[in-house]
A and B are shown apart, each in its own frame.
Chain A
Amino acid sequence: MSDISDRSDRSDTLKKEVLMRYIFTLLALLALGWPAAAALPAASFLVPKETTRDTGYTAIEVGLDGMVYVGTAWYGGSAHLIRLNPATGKWEDLIDAHKLTRDTGVGLDSQSKFHAKILVGADGIVWAATKQGNEEFTNRPEYGESAGGFPGGHLFSYDPKTGQAADHGILKKQEGIMGGAIDNARRRIYYVSDPKGHFLIYDIAGNSVRDLGRSGPTPRYMGIDAKGRVFVVGAPLPGDNAPGAITMYDPQTDRLYQLAVNVEGDLKAYGSPYVIVMNADGATLLGAAANCKYVLEYDLSSVRLNNANSFANGAITCRLAAEIKPGDTHAGTLGKDGCFYFNSGAILYRYDPAARAADEVGIIAPPNNRDGATVYSQGAAAGPDGTLYMKFIYPYQVLAFDKLTAPKGEN
């Protein structure tokens, strides 16, 4: 573990960062002629250049120690697991994927991304997994057929108490690891492989993995409900305007089920969700889809197994819950206030499942954004104090929205 924060100006306190962001935002708004929506104040923490080629994906989570764990991407090289102390702005490099695995792949064959969602167990252990860099699968001559090429994504753990990092091996030969959900009760971790989309169950105690077969396309997000059932975006179903399925894993039967989606409301307005998060009550799954003008709310009590559709094992009902402005959506998380926070383009939304209402929290304006108003959000996580951490690329940075998701009266 090495401290790599001295080189940067990240030693500023969160408070200073917030103040600077206020001033920056004010000046920017004045220059733009005061647009309707206000940019949200946030502290920016640039990801250290030694650990990334300026990009990263869904891999972000806040540990039980309050540290922000972030996975980086390094196309053609080795990805890193790093962590941020938001109080000091210091970064630490915890895992260099190639160093720990002794993998020697280069280019397309390297462990280039910590893309899967970072998971934190009830014991505080942090789990992260790697995948290929460039998503070139169709034309790679060796894909799936040769001992060479990309060997497969590794699963890693990091114990903040001991500072020990471990490589638990490749979960599926020549497949990357995506998605990610942890079941603390059953001591299991769920992932989906990339590109074949196989549902993988990792048993923490036994250090073993099972492949239950294809669940659908490779997802970024997975959710576990109160019964331990795992939900993930499923395969497209044949037919015009047929909504893509939701795949469910039921630990009671140890089986995967493909669920057709019954949309309550305008079927054409439905979009297959990119972000899904489990509601705090474990009874509804919340979703946001790219360019969809509704927040999606799946009623998990509506799951029925039947033979109504031969491409599915049953159905689930989805409500078009609240209207939003459609945009690109990649990042979302459940706030400490029980609301679903996600981006739609540069707008940060908050969906309150209790009120079934969505509101615009504000405009996200990452500093030094290379594409002007186009914002590339990649992942989100909420800290114990309700601070919302979101990742952005170009430049690769974490924005901290101070106590934004804290329950009312605590922020």
Chain B
Amino acid sequence: MKTIYRILLLLVLLLPGLLRAEAFFKGATTVNLPCPPGNREIVRMIVFNGDVIAAIRTADNNPVFFRPADMESITDEAFVGGKLAEVLLNPTLPLVPDIERQSAYTIIENGKLVRIGLFGPVEEIGQLAGTRPYENNGYQISRVIVKGPDDALYTAGVNGAIFKYDPAANKLEKLNAVLPAMKGREAWASLDAGVFGPDGLLYGGTFDGYLFTFDPKTLQVVNLGKPFRQQRIRGLAFRNGKLVGIGGEDDGMPRSFAYDPQTRGFELGGAIPDPNSNSPLLESIGAFLALPNGTIYFSTTGRLANLYVWKPEPVK
């Protein structure tokens, strides 16, 4: 009896490892692009006026803006020149549109949060980013600004501090909360990806690859750990109650994961299947955009970059 009990216990302990999760993002399809190989790297996707808009910076430095839904080119004045276009085409800077105010927010190269009017004016709001030790130039620029359910904007800056900006009150606050970082690496910690969950928490990923939750009400930050050893969280989204994401460094290989807030457990999806070949996607992920309906757009980088769309399975 004791032996049977031991075997059963062993099986229970081993089960999570034996049941290796199926690769997430499986079943994604390739979206045709208006640009040929060598000129098809999507550097940004945003939702603007209800449309998904993608930005490509060609090898000749010509910007191309288009809607993946119908491949229509975007030639609006706001997209073809000025500061907004400049930021749209720079994937190292965050960008969040504010349609109500006909503007968008970003953190510019000197580390300041700014509001960009769709037709020109740039208004400085405040300093966010810090510098690395021995350097004067702004460095700690997060790659995302996340809009919360309270309509406030959240991002991170100097020494990993989380900032809140309320556009209605035009109030910028440095909160008493910091991104998870190894001791001594606080000056490198920045927000790589983020999404608010149905529980009202911000689920974020740092440049170093840590996942965390941030409660805007209590300012509590909980470090969930790293889904894998590499740095970079390229994108996060909620799908079927789970947080799904892709990580991987520029020289690495994109890998997927999921985090279940109910069980507080990770599922490691591993490499992402390439819909066009038998091999996994090998180039790092560039742009990532999740829609409220569960659809996720993500693109690879490099000369043969592609745009993929992973749609929710139809309800049976």
Contacts and interface: CB of A to CB of B under 8 A. Distances in A.
Given A237-B276, A256-B303, A313 B252 contact: no
B270 A139 contact: yes
A310 B303 CA distance: 13
- Give the one of A141, A143, A146, A195 with max B CB within 10 A: A143
Nearest to A216: B304
Contact of B37 (A138, A173, A312): A312
A238 B33 contact: no
Nearest to A139: B270
Interface residues of A, number: 33
Nearest to B284: A144
A214 interface: yes
Most chain-A Cβ atoms within 10 A of its Cβ — which of B229, B248, B304? B304
B312 interface: no
B38 A138 contact: no
B307 to A, nearest CB: 11
Given A217-B279, A311-B37, A313-B36, A144 B304 contact: no
Question: Chain A interface secondary structure, helix, strand, loop or mixed?
Answer: loop
B276 A138 contact: no
A373 interface: no
Contact of B252 (A144, A236, A311): A144
Given A217-B279, A236-B277, A258 B304 contact: yes
A407 interface: no
Contacts of A311: 32-33, 36-37
Given A145-B229, A256-B303, A238 B38 contact: no
A310 B34 contact: yes
Contacts of B200: none
A138 B270 contact: yes
B38 A235 contact: no
B35 to A, nearest CB: 7
Given A138-B280, A307-B36, A313-B37, A145 B303 contact: no
A313 B270 CA distance: 32
A213 interface: yes
Given A214-B304, A258-B304, A313-B36, A138 B271 contact: yes
B215 interface: no
Contacts of A137: 253, 280, 282
A310 B71 CA distance: 11
B82 interface: no
Interface of A: 137-139, 141-146, 173-174, 195-197, 212-217, 235-238, 255-258, 307, 310-313
